[in-house]
Amino acid sequence: MSQTSLDDDELFGEAATEMRSDVEASLAEARGALPDGDAVWDVEADNTLGVLNALKTALDVGDAEDHLRDAKKWYTMGERADAFEDADDLAEDIASVEALIEDVEDAREQVGGLTSTIPQLRSTLEEFEDDAADAEADADAEEAEA
């Protein structure tokens, strides 16, 4: 084997190692950008709408999607170049982080829906209570007249 091909093999091996490190680092950054469990669980507010708004804010995935995209990009490059000897763990980690990001985003959308629904529900319930009180007052007035 010539010196050139040995150097090329060594360079390819180094590049593969660096690529794997890049994927792992991007996955770590994606995990780090996800909301903290306590931030989602422990929210403080004066009313339901405040709690929902705080929860929606806490469920922001931040830069996690960008970091996941970087991990997937480097993983794809490494896979296509057949640079990884065993990349099953990377594929599993990518899928795991991707699923978690999707779950957090789904929860954020649900909270967003409640954030817009709760004020309307409150108004409707208050109107219903007012109508019921008016009907009761009218019934009482009719009884008093009779």
* 1-60 pLDDT tens trace: 445 555 888 888 888 889 999 999 999 999 999 999 998 999 889 999 999 999 999 999
46 and 75 Cβ atoms separated by less than 8 Å: no
Q: Give me the residue spans of the domains in the chain.
A: 3-145
Nearest to 64 by CA among 119, 3, 105: 105
Summarised one tens digit per residue, pLDDT across range 32-44 is: 999 999 989 998 8
